[in-house]
DNA sequence: TAATCTTAATGAAACGGTTCATTTTAGAAA
DNA sequence: TTTCTAAAATGAACCGTTTCATTAAGATTA
């Protein structure tokens, strides 16, 4: 049973209200054909001024709103983009989300935000759902997984760009942060300030970003003849792990000059350990972090670190995606965009 | 010109790939009518087992994916929800986003994440766009504004629930955090621990949440005959403001027992000021914050504060919205859901 | 004035599903 | 074998747009 509220509007039997003024109503009242109304809506220059104003007026009086679903069906274009992220609440990705949504919005696109919860099966399902909704493109931060079916992903023909994590064997455009370069720069900053014995507190081995950061540190150290494998400590990405590694290093080594922590959370744990042992930062030991999370500038001392420009990463990903959607990049193969970090100099490194 | 890749699939002239296997293809190959295929897809029990398996098999071999756009147009239901937030990257809202997306996902809904950037005009535009996309419902964190057109909002017939901020005169369901109760509880916690001279460092007057927190503090103070209007300091929500207010209070008052900061950021600023003045926390002065932002537990001392369960707030908002969509709540009027905070006891309050 | 060329407007088909009144089928009962 | 009935299957209409071949009207030229 339909309950009518206004002309052309009603609550359906499920109590869902839909505004039902259609393009046909507009056409009839304006005294033109539906094609003409459509042309006005799409700003095609084939309509006479007389009819244009007539149509616009009736649109206003009828409070007509074009139905984008119907337009999408007809045009085969939805102006919707899917953004798939392992954890939507992670402070790491909030700036990325912002960069992506704001840039897409500026181009008239809307974004479906989806959380894969770090689960490869969920990620797959989400991508399938997005494809069924005929989204025009996908921006994906892939889940780490060795169960990944590359063939299946390769067969997806909707434009897609990966962010922040590479997938071996997958030939897709990707925007990635320069972990190597950031670590290299951070380490060189310490070296330039006359620190010699610089340990690294790194994350797990299976993680590519942490491997890259280790390599950046190692390269800088080797170039300055400071490398020594005893300076390497590995754990996971947690604050606790940072604490443990710092304690361990203080027990094993003497006269540490500085600490390169592969993440700000590790640095935080290390900071706690140093305070507990009454080691002064930066007077006794300097410490540099990686990532610039929100709290880093509020720590005591505020943490010198490498900032990852996630907003820009998101923005870049969008512009690549939009190019692909526009069909400009017809070439085979794929591109890799490496976004550089920025050294945020604060108070945890002694400049000498 | 269409470039054909596979049967029924092609790149259109804009280079957009669309999988074009339709329900008709499935019907033809399975040797049944489209209606039957549709019934299988929608799991209606009117199809014989024989045909059901036959259809499912051809769906699999053809790799057929139903087009949700077409289904939406026909069903007048999109299974999409709009989530409108002033700032998608704000750490305050990341848990809310998570609560909303995860809960909706569990019910088969997808979410459009939209950022109003704190701008009322943008918010209006977003809502209009969402309505044009025939989303089934809206979850809105409204922008503060005195330019708000209540009539226009009232006339929206799509289910909508407001979160975290009330709009005067708007009769919509709303889920809101109990600012009064949280402040009341925090203050009483200080009082219970024998603090008498408790100042409040509050946010701006025009902000309802801060007004409510002030009221909660005041009520607790009055009930214990501790209230005195000299104990009230007001600024904005920034760290700097917290610092300034703390310095000012130390200059004006003697023997402050404790500080109730209306936000964790204010508390952080106050903490900085106290450290600078060599006032020990919690030994000389206790401090309690409000909000439990990510960094609070990492501060030195870790900050005792009121935690706002944003994940649950999001979850609650969704369940109310889904009820409205299902059309269960046919009654007139609207409901207000007040979600209580939780006292996180850490190390910035001296328990005595 | 007739013929030709532009420009504007038209309206039916298409997009890919769902729905439902109608028809067909199969099985049971007579 | 015929009749009846319930279950299953059908297919055309519909959802609200866009698109484009066709038509109509007006302007220009010979």
DSSP string, B249-274: HHHH-S---EEEESSHHHHHHHHHHH
When pLDDT is averaged across residues B182-195 and rounded to a whole number, the result is 98
Fold for B179-308, please state it: Rossmann fold (3.40.50)
pLDDT exceeds cutoff 50 at B1: no
* pLDDT tens-digit map of A37-57: 999 999 878 898 999 999 999
pLDDT band at B89 (very low <50, low <70, confident <90, very high): confident
Q: Which of B263, B237, B266 is nearest to B249 (CA)?
A: B266
Q: Which fold has domain B78-178+311-340?
A: Rossmann fold (3.40.50)
pLDDT band at A162 (very low <50, low <70, confident <90, very high): very high
Which of B187, B190, B197, B327 lies closest to B254 in space, CA to CA? Answer: B197
- Rounded mean pLDDT, B33-59: 92
Structure-token match 């900071």, residue found: A271
Spatial contact of B114 and B130, defined as CB atoms under 8 Å apart: yes
Chain C, protein-covered positions (CB within 7 A): 7-21
Q: Provide the mean pLDDT of chain B.
A: 90
**Contact status, residue A56 vs residue A37, Cβ threshold 8 Å:** no
**Do B18 and A134 make contact, defined as CB atoms within 8 angstroms?**
yes
Nearest to B115 among A69, A102, A132 (CB): A102
What percent of chain B stands above pLDDT 90?
77
Q: In whole angstroms, how far apart are CA A351 and each of A187, A267, A275, A284, B232?
A: 13, 18, 20, 12, 42
How confident is the model at residue B331, as a pLDDT? 58
Domain boundaries, chain B: 3-66, 78-178+311-340, 179-308
Distance (Å, rounded) from C-alpha B82 to C-alpha B133?
A: 10
Among A10, A94, A264, A328, the strongest candidate for a mutation testing the B interface, having the largest count of B CBs within 10 A, is A94
**What number of CA atoms fall less than 13 Å from residue B1's CA on the CB side?**
1
- Asked whether residue B73, judged by its CB, lies under 7 Å from any atom of the DNA or RNA strand D, the reply is yes
What's the average model confidence in pLDDT over A346-350?
A: 97
Q: What pLDDT, on a 0 to 100 scale, did the predictor assign at position B330?
A: 56
Phi, psi of B288, deg, nearest 5: -130, 140
pLDDT one-digit tens code per residue, B206-224: 888 999 999 999 999 999 9
C20 C1' closest Cα residue? B35
What is the predicted pLDDT for the residue at A5? 34
Neighbours of A119 (CB within 10 A): 14
How far off is chain B from A333, nearest CA to CA, in Å? 16
CA neighbours closer than 13 Å in the CB half-sphere of residue B199: 27
Helix, strand, coil share of chain A (percent; to 5): 45, 20, 40
Asked if strand D contacts A79 at the CB level, meaning under 7 A, the answer is: no
CATH number of B3-66: 1.10.260.40
Lowest mean per-residue pLDDT among B135-139, B155-159, B315-319: B155-159
Q: Say if residues B238 and B255 touch (Cβ distance below 8 Å).
A: no
Q: For residue B8, what pLDDT band results from cuts at 50, 70 and 90?
A: very low
Nearest to B122 by CA among A313, A319, A20, A101: A101
pLDDT at residue B46 above 90? no
Residue A1: pLDDT over 90:
no
Tell me, rounded to whole angstroms, the distance of Cα B254 from its chain centroid: 41
Q: How confident is the model at residue A2 (pLDDT cuts 50, 70, 90)?
A: very low
Peptide bond just before B301 cis, omega within 30 deg: yes
* Structure confidence at residue A188 (pLDDT): 98
CA gap A318, A97 in Å, rounded: 11
pLDDT tens-place string over residues A90-145: 877 889 999 999 999 999 999 999 999 999 999 999 999 999 999 999 999 999 88
Average pLDDT over residues A224-234: 97
pLDDT (tens digit per residue) in B273-310: 999 999 999 999 999 999 998 888 888 899 999 999 99
Can you tell me the distance from the alpha carbon of B235 to that of B181, in angstroms, rounded to the nearest whole number?
A: 21
pLDDT at B58 over 50: yes
Task: Give the CA angle between residues A225, A231, A234 to the nearest 5°.
Answer: 135
pLDDT at B14: 38
- Pick from B299, B289, B295, B49: nearest CA to B186: B289
Rounded to an integer, the average pLDDT of A256-276 is 95
Structure tokens at B216: 């909660």
Q: What would the pLDDT profile of A147-157 be if each residue is shown by its tens digit? A: 889 999 998 98
The rounded mean pLDDT for chain A is: 90
Is B102's pLDDT higher than 60?
yes
Q: Is the confidence at residue A4, as pLDDT, over 90?
A: no
List the B14 CA – D10 C1' distance (angstroms).
37
A34-41 and A23-30 are packed helices; what angle lies between their axes, rounded to 10 degrees? 110
Identical fold, A3-66 and A179-308? no
pLDDT of residue B328: 61
Looking at CA atoms only, how far is residue A219 from chain B in angstroms?
Answer: 32
Q: Is B69:B18 a contact under the CB 8 Å cutoff? A: no
């Amino acid at each position: 049973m339909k309950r009518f509220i206004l002309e052309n509007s009603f609550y359906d039997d499920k109590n869902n209200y839909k505004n039902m003024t259609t393009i046909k109503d507009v056409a009839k009242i304006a005294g033109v054909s539906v094609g003409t109304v459509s042309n006005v809506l799409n700003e095609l220059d084939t309509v006479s001024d007389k009819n244009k104003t007539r149509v616009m007026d009736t649109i206003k009086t009828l409070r007509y709103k074009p139905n984008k679903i119907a337009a999408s069906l007809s045009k085969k274009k939805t102006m919707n983009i899917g953004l798939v992220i392992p954890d939507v609440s992670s402070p790491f990705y909030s700036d990325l989300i912002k960069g992506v949504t704001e840039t897409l919005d500026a181009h008239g696109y809307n974004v479906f935000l989806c959380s894969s919860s770090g689960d490869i099966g969920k990620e797959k399902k989400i991508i399938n759902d997005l494809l069924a909704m005929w989204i025009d493109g996908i921006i994906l931060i892939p889940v780490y997984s060795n169960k990944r079916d590359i063939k299946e992903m390769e067969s997806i023909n909707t434009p897609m760009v990966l962010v922040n994590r590479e997938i071996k064997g997958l030939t897709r455009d990707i925007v990635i942060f320069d972990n190597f370069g950031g670590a290299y720069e951070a380490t060189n900053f310490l070296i330039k300030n006359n620190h010699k014995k610089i340990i690294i507190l790194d994350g797990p081995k299976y993680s590519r970003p942490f491997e890259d950061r280790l390599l950046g540190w190692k390269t800088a150290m080797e170039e300055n003849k400071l490398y020594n494998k005893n300076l390497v400590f590995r754990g996971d990405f947690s604050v606790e792990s940072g604490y443990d590694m710092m304690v361990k290093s203080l027990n094993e080594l003497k006269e540490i000059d500085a600490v390169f922590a592969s993440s700000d959370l590790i640095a935080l744990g290390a900071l706690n350990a140093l305070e507990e042992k009454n080691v002064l930062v930066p007077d006794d030991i300097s410490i540099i972090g990686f990532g610039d999370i929100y709290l880093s500038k509020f720590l005591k001392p505020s943490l010198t670190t490498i900032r990852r420009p996630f907003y820009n990463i998101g923005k870049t990903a969008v512009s690549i995606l939009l190019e692909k959607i526009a069909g400009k990049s017809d070439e085979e193969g794929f591109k890799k965009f490496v976004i550089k970090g920025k050294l945020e100099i604060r108070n945890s490194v002694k400049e000498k």
